[in-house]
Amino acid sequence: MIDIRSIHRQAMLLVREANEELQKMQVEAFVDISKKAFNLERDAARALLSNWDAEPTRSVLFRSAATLAFNIGEFDEAKKLVYQGLAGKPHSELAVELNYLLERINEAVEQSYSQKMVAENAYVELLRDKAVNVKLEPKDPKYNKAIVLDYIIDFLKNIQNSYANYSVANFRKTFTERDFPDYDGSISTLRSESKALAVNFSFNSFGVSIVADTEIMGFNEFNSRKFKSYKKELFDSFKSEVLLPDFNSDAYHQMIENKYTPEERQEIFTPIVSALDPRSKYTLAITDRYFKRIVKRHPALNKKSKSVLKPSLEKVAIEDYNVMRRTFELVSPSAGKKQKLMTDYLTYAEFQSGLENVEDGDKKVYFINRYEYKIVWNQGVFTIDDQYFDMFVETKNFNEIDLLFGKKILQKYASLLQRPENELSANERLVLNRMNAEMMRDWSI
């Protein structure tokens, strides 16, 4: 008789090894090791094929063998193993997991996933394990459970802002200029790489799994042990301090007030306070990864919580940035009249801007079509986070941001053109192709 437990154990050791490769984005190594793990785990599962009473072991082994088959792109085999698992007497939790896997296999088959796509999928799946699953439900029954798109956009944007601000605030608490000689530049890089990711969605109301891949954060620039430790903890702390706590508890208020200054609380929590306001149009809940069970409902914030998380602007001593004020006016050009409607203070604003040509020293580039992008103002800093040319700039001076952005694009273009093509990363090649397609330069190489 084969020793199922020992075979399964060997397979799981290989799975750990494969996952380590995946986190380093070593897809080939991930697939090679996963194949070895799959062969072992399938043998272990098959040994229990007709052993209907061996639950939960039987369905656990079939589920993990099917998952491994899926990860290496063996979809038919994966499907067969899921059905064999379900054909037994799996406990309800394992039946849910097997069915969830079946949905993913069917999706991969329908969309003809390549092996690379499967590996990417496995990467997303790894991230899903660390994600917070949030569900938004409308308070107003007007559209039944359907949720207005504006609420979703507003919520996701706020989570991103909160996370980036959290990351920077905690960086400032952890590091000094002795750790990073180009301190402001490092903060700028950190802000651009503090991206919250959505790794799963559900549309019964709206569910989203939010996570951050901090492994790749500052990958090229920061290698100190202290920074590695900081980024390893970052998303988990964000989860426990910003996404999951009991916002209305006194102990939480005390902890947050001790840890963060009013300015930092403004930066971190203002974006999410609107979602938890009693007048918010939707409610927030934390769910399991399938969005089926509510693990925790976030109640609306009481007055005290709001004053702790979002101290009023007047109370915050804003020393180093201006306040953004928006004024609405009704203008009648023919009569030359202006009527001021209202003025409000903002903590976040977006503007459209664009470039037609850029000059830097003796070099000049012309955009074939005006290149448009978004400028974001958040807590005193203007930023352009341009994914198309993989460029991030920030400054406190609005008047210089377009120029700064243009010059950086030109410098990047010149630098990419100078380097041998075989030395460029896949992303750099992609950016260079885009630049060649969008711009004309006035110098030769």
Residues at the site binding another protein, with contacts judged by CB under 8 A? 1, 3-5, 9, 12, 15-16, 19, 47-48, 51, 53-58, 60, 63-64, 67-68, 89, 91-94, 97, 129, 229, 232-233, 236-237, 245-246, 249-252, 255, 288-289, 292-296
For the chain, give the number of residues. Answer: 445
The phi and psi torsions of 390 (rounded to 5 degrees) equal: 50, 60
Report yes or no: 401 and 375 within 8 Å, Cβ to Cβ.
Answer: yes
Q: How many CB atoms lie within 10 A of CB 184?
A: 10
Say how many CA atoms lie within 13 Å of 438 toward its Cβ. Answer: 18
Cα–Cα dist 283/300, whole Å: 8
Q: Whose Cβ is closer to another protein: residue 37's or residue 439's?
A: 37
Q: Whose Cβ is closer to another protein: residue 19's or residue 160's?
A: 19
Nearest distance from residue 368's CB to another protein, in Å? 48
Nearest distance from residue 253's CB to another protein, in Å? 9
Q: Whose Cβ is closer to another protein: residue 89's or residue 364's?
A: 89
Give the long-range contacts of residues 186-191, CB within 8 A, separation 24 or more: 186/218, 186/221, 186/222, 188/392, 188/393, 188/394, 189/218, 189/221, 189/392, 190/217, 190/218, 191/164, 191/167, 191/383, 191/392, 191/394
Q: Whose Cβ is closer to another protein: residue 87's or residue 368's?
A: 87
Q: Whose Cβ is closer to another protein: residue 292's or residue 363's?
A: 292
The tokens of 281 are what?
A: 């149009």
Nearest distance from residue 15's CB to another protein, in Å? 5
Q: What angle do CA 344, 309, 298 make, to 5 degrees?
A: 105
DSSP 424: S
The tokens of 316 are what?
A: 């915050």
Q: Which string of b and e fits 348-380 if b means at least 16 CB within 10 Å? A: eeeeeeebeebeeeeeebebeeebebebbbbbe
DSSP 113: -
Nearest distance from residue 282's CB to another protein, in Å? 21
DSSP 214: G
Q: Whose Cβ is closer to another protein: residue 12's or residue 152's?
A: 12
| Kind plus residue range of the DSSP H or E element containing 138 | strand 132-138
Report yes or no: 268 and 243 within 8 Å, Cβ to Cβ.
Answer: no
Of the candidates 135, 129, 167, the residue with the CA atom closest to the CA atom of residue 15: 129
Distance of CA 264 to the CA centre of its chain: 21
Cα–Cα dist 366/438, whole Å: 9
Q: Whose Cβ is closer to another protein: residue 247's or residue 382's?
A: 247
Nearest distance from residue 122's CB to another protein, in Å? 11
Nearest distance from residue 294's CB to another protein, in Å? 8
Q: Whose Cβ is closer to another protein: residue 15's or residue 119's?
A: 15
Give the CA dihedral 265, 267, 271, 272, nearest 10 degrees: -30
Nearest distance from residue 232's CB to another protein, in Å? 8
The tokens of 144 are what?
A: 């039944």
Q: Whose Cβ is closer to another protein: residue 101's or residue 435's?
A: 101
Nearest distance from residue 115's CB to another protein, in Å? 19
Nearest distance from residue 95's CB to another protein, in Å? 8
Q: Whose Cβ is closer to another protein: residue 23's or residue 357's?
A: 23
Q: Whose Cβ is closer to another protein: residue 122's or residue 358's?
A: 122
Q: Whose Cβ is closer to another protein: residue 107's or residue 129's?
A: 129
Report yes or no: 323 and 345 within 8 Å, Cβ to Cβ.
Answer: yes
